[in-house]
């Protein structure tokens, strides 16, 4: 078994969590927290109020925690612009994008630009762990 930490194989599509939960920018953070807790996810995609086809931000669990004690809504704490990837992108490249953009979640989009899932740092960690098997 190799002890070197590398992603030799795999694509975003193989490791991502399918589907994406969404909300409007004016969604109260308590509601965002409820969505995260109920669905056991760490990120919610924020769409523009008038544009349900083009995501413009992502609220992560860290963004949510950072806003404790404030009267913020999803739009005011969401990381924007959204960093997107396609399912055929290598996990190595996705990991590099996370580091480059200081984010733990990337939105996975189809060739038509529609959300199909989310790839998180935990998804990449699972792929790294399985490469040692």
Q: Considering the domain delimited by 12-131, tell me its CATH architecture.
A: Roll (3.10)
Residues 27-47 have a mean pLDDT of 94
pLDDT, greater one: 48 or 8:
48
The mean pLDDT value for 45-54 works out to: 75
Residue 26 CB partners (closer than 8 Å, separation 6+): 49, 73, 74, 75
The b/e string for 85-114 (b: 16+ C-beta within 10 A; e otherwise) is bebebebbebbebbeeeebbbbbbbeeeee
Which pLDDT belongs to residue 1? 46
* Confidence bin at 51 (pLDDT 50/70/90): low
- At 52, is the pLDDT very low, low, confident or very high (cuts 50, 70, 90)? low
Structure tokens at 127: 């792929």
Which residue carries 């960093």 as its tokens?
83
129: pLDDT strictly greater than 50: yes
């Amino acid at each position: 078994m190799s002890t070197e930490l590398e992603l030799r194989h795999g694509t975003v599509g193989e490791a991502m969590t399918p589907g994406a939960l969404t909300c409007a920018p004016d969604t109260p953070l308590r509601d965002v927290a409820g969505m995260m807790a109920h669905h056991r996810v760490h990120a919610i995609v924020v769409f523009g109020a008038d544009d349900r086809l083009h995501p413009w931000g992502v609220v992560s669990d860290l963004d949510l925690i950072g806003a404790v004690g404030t009267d913020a809504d999803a739009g005011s704490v969401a990381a924007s612009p959204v960093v997107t990837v396609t399912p055929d992108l290598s996990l190595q490249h996705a990991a590099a994008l996370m580091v480059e953009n200081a984010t733990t979640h990337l939105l996975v989009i189809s060739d038509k630009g529609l959300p199909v899932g989310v790839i998180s740092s935990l998804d990449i960690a699972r792929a790294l762990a399985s490469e040692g098997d």
